[in-house]
């Protein structure tokens, strides 16, 4: 036990940074030895020189080098992490000391500061070369010895390939091999440049990408491939990653330089390639945004502010110069987490409120107290299968809750009300989608009064949001599978949470009232392909390591999603990714009366609720649900005959 403790203590001391004063002392000792060797070399390895003169000159040499080391700071570097910059510092200090000695000798020759004191120029030059070599070599020898000592540790070896032999790849290599607690071996670099292929960097060979075959990976026992390429086109990056995801390795990526901590890459920043990185569409970027001007000095309210979309809306709004930000959510823990996150990020001008949007009295008090100018309404129940079983709750939150906020917005003359809707509201086939469509219709009804500008945004699935398919797949992969897909041909539109939130803010800024904004989400993604890619990105094989199980469509679930309802068309905006839906005419008086009835009635029976919803939304035709019995055959035929036309 005592021996084990002593070994641990010794190893701990060795891994700690050595004292800079110890390094300085050793450097000065090496300078002294180099000076003596310079004399031996100058006089053909003999003692045919005045030894007494050497001893008198040595303190002067050491003194000048001491001053040069202190000025350059070459002794302050961590020896076991010696790199090119440390070599530069040593070179500068040697040059500075040598020039200082030469100047001193010449000054002494003409001014006679020290009697009979001189140093031959050849000795000074030889000493400079020897000192530089000794100081540099000693550091690298120590570095190699330290690495060998680390290799004897019991941490398992991990063989890695770095994709990219440029500056970023070299920095990644240095970060990996210099990390004391991770035992890795970089087998090689991969690069597409023929000028680099076949050469060596730090003793590591650069391979052509054609070498990355299953046999090569197996022979070299490679477990990870790290992409370290800066300023690469997203489409090109997806192409490169798709070439290696079939290999039995984990695929990781180095973040952009601007995201490095204090300009230095940390091991913790090298992350697994996410499925978001492989979506076959360019990331959405907004330039010349109107949001900044729209938020200037405004009181902004966000409902559902602790949810996936709501919390990202809050994060993005915090970057603007608003007056006050009110964040409402009934999820206490999630709201607390968001509050702590914002405070740690330096944002303090916001008010977190635990509340339920169905509580009209509480909401009225908030409107009276804060008088918001902008409202982003993201609070909703969104899980299709759950809402199919609980239509009463879906109506109370998604319809009645929205109605409460809309009515208060009109009463308190809120300038803009932005409603976050969903593509499931288009030709709805489930309770959740129907409730969101009813909320859209009610907003259109109140827009006719012209007191508040109501704006609706409509988009598809959001990657990584609570309850979405990707977090589900990740959990299933962690448990060893299988991954569950409801249908082999099912497809969905996807965008990232920041993209969706950014587009909502932009649509809110450009909206004049009465618009339904829909977002161009690119091509729809086949969920089966998504599942296979996630398995591959985890370094596993389908179906050998993890299989995919087809479970069948859930109640109310569509095979394909739509962004426009029957009879709708689109108009362009100044942003190519945002379009305005031209909504067909509606009998607002009768529709509003039915919505009022839906919200105030105590319809606890599912059938009664759904029947009334189908009256409000005639295109609501259930799929794979108990409520299919309420759909007429004529409606079903009409539904099949209609086609959705999206004009881009």
* Sign of the alpha-carbon torsion through 596, 597, 599, 600: positive
Give the tokens for residue 477: 């992969």
Rounding to the nearest 10 degrees, give the CA dihedral for residues 380, 383, 388, 393. -30
Is 488 one of the catalytic residues?
no
CA distance 242 to 14: 43
CA distance 420 to 377: 6
Pairing state between β 548-550 and 491-492: unpaired
Give the tokens for residue 523: 């091509």
For residue 120, give the H/E element and its range: none
Q: Label residues 327-361 b or e (16+ Cβ within 10 Å = b).
A: bbbbbeebbeebbeebeeeebeebebbebbbbebe
Give the tokens for residue 506: 């932009």
**Which residues are 570's β-sheet partners?**
581
State residue 525 phi and psi, 5-degree precision.
Answer: -110, 135
Place of tokens 């090119």: 84
CA distance 472 to 469: 5
CA distance 179 to 217: 24
CA distance 425 to 613: 12
CA distance 172 to 251: 15
By CB atoms closer than 10 A (0-12, 13-18, 19+), residue 228 is: buried
Give the tokens for residue 96: 């500075």
Pairing state between β 374-377 and 299-303: parallel
Q: Which of 424, 532, 558, 577 is catalytic?
A: 424
Residue of 558, 585, 565, 525 whose CA lies nearest to 646: 565
By CB atoms closer than 10 A (0-12, 13-18, 19+), residue 160 is: buried
**618-622 contacts at long range (C-beta below 8 A, 24 or more positions apart):** 619/427, 619/428, 619/565, 619/566, 620/427, 620/428, 620/429, 620/433, 620/434, 620/437, 621/427, 621/429, 622/429, 622/430, 622/556
Q: Tell me how crowded residue 6 is: count the other CB atoms within 10 A of its CB.
A: 10
CA distance 591 to 617: 9
Determine the straight-line distance between the first and last CA of the chain, rounded to whole angstroms. 74
Place of tokens 């100047």: 103
By CB atoms closer than 10 A (0-12, 13-18, 19+), residue 375 is: buried
| Beta carbons within 8 Å of 536's beta carbon, 6+ residues apart | 245, 246, 542
Residues annotated as part of the active site: 424
């Amino acid at each position: 036990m005592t021996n084990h403790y002593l070994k641990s203590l010794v190893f701990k001391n060795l891994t700690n940074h050595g004292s800079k004063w110890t390094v300085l002392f050793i450097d000065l000792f090496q300078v002294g030895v180099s000076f003596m060797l310079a004399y031996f070399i100058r006089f053909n390895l003999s003692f045919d020189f005045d030894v007494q003169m050497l001893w008198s000159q040595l303190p002067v040499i050491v003194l000048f080098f001491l001053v040069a080391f202190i000025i350059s700071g070459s002794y302050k570097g961590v020896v076991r992490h010696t790199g090119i910059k440390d070599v530069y510092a040593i070179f500068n200090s040697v040059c500075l000391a040598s020039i200082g000695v030469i100047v001193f000798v010449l000054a002494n020759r003409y001014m006679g500061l020290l009697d009979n004191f001189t140093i031959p120029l050849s000795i000074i030059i030889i000493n400079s070369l020897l000192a530089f070599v000794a100081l540099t070599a000693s550091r690298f020898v120590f570095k190699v010895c330290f690495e060998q000592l680390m290799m004897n540790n019991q941490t398992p070896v991990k063989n890695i390939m770095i994709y990219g032999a440029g500056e970023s790849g070299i920095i990644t290599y240095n970060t990996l091999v210099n990390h004391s607690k991770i035992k890795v071996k970089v087998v090689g670099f991969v690069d597409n440049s023929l000028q680099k292929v076949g050469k060596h960097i730090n003793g590591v060979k650069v391979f052509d990408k054609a070498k990355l075959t299953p046999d090569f990976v197996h022979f070299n026992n490679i477990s990870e491939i790290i992409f370290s390429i800066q300023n690469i086109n997203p489409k090109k990056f997806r192409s490169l990653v798709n070439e290696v995801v079939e290999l039995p390795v984990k695929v990781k990526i180095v973040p952009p330089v601007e995201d490095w901590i204090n300009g230095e890459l940390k091991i913790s920043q090298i992350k697994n390639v996410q499925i978001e990185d492989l979506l076959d569409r360019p990331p959405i970027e907004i330039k010349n945004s109107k949001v900044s001007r729209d938020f200037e000095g405004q009181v902004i309210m966000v409902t559902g502010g602790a949810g996936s979309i709501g919390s990202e809306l809050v994060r993005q709004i915090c970057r603007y110069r608003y007056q006050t930000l009110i964040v409402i959510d009934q999820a206490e823990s999630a709201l607390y987490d968001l509050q702590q996150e914002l405070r740690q990020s330096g944002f303090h001008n916001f008010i977190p409120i635990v509340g339920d949007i169905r509580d009209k009295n509480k909401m009225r008090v908030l409107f009276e107290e804060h008088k918001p100018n902008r409202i982003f309404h993201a609070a909703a129940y969104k899980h299709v299968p759950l809402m199919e079983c609980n239509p009463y709750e879906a109506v109370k939150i998604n319809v009645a809750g929205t109605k409460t906020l809309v009515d208060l917005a009109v009463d308190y003359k809120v300038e803009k009300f932005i409603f976050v809707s969903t593509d499931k509201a288009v030709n709805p086939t489930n309770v959740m989608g129907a409730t969101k469509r009813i909320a859209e219709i009610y907003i259109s009804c109140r827009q006719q009064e012209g007191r508040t500008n109501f704006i609706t945004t409509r988009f598809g699935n959001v990657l990584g949001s609570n309850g979405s398919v990707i977090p589900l797949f990740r959990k299933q992969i962690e448990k060893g599978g299988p991954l569950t897909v409801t249908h082999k041909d099912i497809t969905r539109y996807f965008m990232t949470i920041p993209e969706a939130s950014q587009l909502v803010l932009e649509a809110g800024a450009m909206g004049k009232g009465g618009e339904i904004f829909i977002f161009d989400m690119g091509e729809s993604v086949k969920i089966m392909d998504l599942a296979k890619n996630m398995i591959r990105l985890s370094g596993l094989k389908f179906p050998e390591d993890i299989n995919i199980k087809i479970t069948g469509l859930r109640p109310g679930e569509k095979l394909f999603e739509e962004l426009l309802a029957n009879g709708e068309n689109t108009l362009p905006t100044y942003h190519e990714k945002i379009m305005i839906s031209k909504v067909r005419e509606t009998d607002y008086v009768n529709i509003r009366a039915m919505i009022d009835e839906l919200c105030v009635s105590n319809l606890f029976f599912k059938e009664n609720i759904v029947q009334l919803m189908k009256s409000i939304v005639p295109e609501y035709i259930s799929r794979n649900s108990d409520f299919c019995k309420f759909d007429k055959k004529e409606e079903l035929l009409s539904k099949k005959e209609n086609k959705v036309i999206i004009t881009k």
